[in-house]
Amino acid sequence: MTTTTTTNTNIRLFDDDYEALARIHNQVYTDFAQSADEFRFEDQQKPERCRQQRWVTERNGRIVAYGDYHQPASMFDPNKFTIEIGVEPSALLQGIGSALYRTIVDALRPFEPSTISAWCRDDMACFVRFLTNRGFSETTRMWVSILDLATFEPSRFAQYAQVDDGIELTTRAELASRQDLYQKMYDLWCEVREDIPLPPGEKRSDLSFEEWKSWEDHPSTLPEGYFIALAGGEPVGVSSLWRADAPDLLRTGLTGVRRAYRRRGIAFALKLRALEWARRQPGIARVITDNASTNRPMLAINEALGFARQPAWVHYSGQWTVVSASDV
């Protein structure tokens, strides 16, 4: 599929253009930068039930934008789709994003979606207008926060570093020989994820053990920075760090504790252990995390640790009958 938009610009289906995808994505979605290999891995792991299609826009033979529709496996609904459009700064406000949007909408028509959603940072004025002009409206916000490790002083939190007797803090690397580790961590994840806030109107969908495990083998995984709390040898809490597509940065993954073990300081102690580990890694200067604006317990922990808020990422949603009719 190739669509000509001007004499020197055309839209075509994505064809292993991962380097260009990463380059543009990381300019637009800077807080969620990732490598071409990570994009490729994630595409390969996507379950068959989750529809996805991607296009790129070429200008004079160079890729300057991309657009896609996809369905998140963890919130799968056959009638709901998420879209993502990325246009490199030099090609903004030239109709490229609009052409990609029309391409995506036309490709989605046979599926008769109920709603379409998208994420946008709230300081991206042109992207905010792009979405609102087409009938999308804000549903929720997510805070991205960054900790400058040079300002992080673990000694300030010494009283919180200790956990109750019977609780052991270890790492995935140290438990690598344990045959039941993945199954136990999957069971922990299944409980903890139930309390992770979702955008209004979204529902969790089941992930099989095999689907979950494939993500645990993500190329960004850091087993030595993946901290686990054990009670009686059973995993009851987790806080993980992952590689980021910046040499001085690490990304925080899931932090969570089983309900029966909450309010005992385990999550705070796990976060402290992870950040102390990050400080010891050569070249690492920052840790980035993101949390739903409604997740006050985790936001309070991050604020206490010194994470500084960045501009919020906003989840937009629109009814298909509205957003598919716009020709802005």
pLDDT in tens, 55-66: 999 999 999 999
What value does the mean pLDDT take over residues 71-95?
95
pLDDT-derived band at 5 (thresholds 50, 70, 90) equals low
pLDDT-derived band at 217 (thresholds 50, 70, 90) equals confident
Average pLDDT, the chain: 93
What value does the mean pLDDT take over residues 90-102?
94
Residue 296 has pLDDT above 90, yes or no: no
pLDDT of residue 197: 87
Model confidence pTM above 0.95:
no
pLDDT of residue 63: 97
What value does the mean pLDDT take over residues 103-124?
96
- Write the burial class of residue 126 (CB in 10 Å: 0-12 exposed, 13-18 middle, 19+ buried): exposed
Domains belonging to the chain, first-starting first, are 2-113 (3.40.630.30), 144-309 (3.40.630.30)
Residue 312 has pLDDT above 60, yes or no: yes
pLDDT of residue 157: 87
pLDDT of residue 328: 56
pLDDT-derived band at 6 (thresholds 50, 70, 90) equals low
Which of 132-141, 159-168, 260-269, 286-295 has the lowest average pLDDT?
159-168
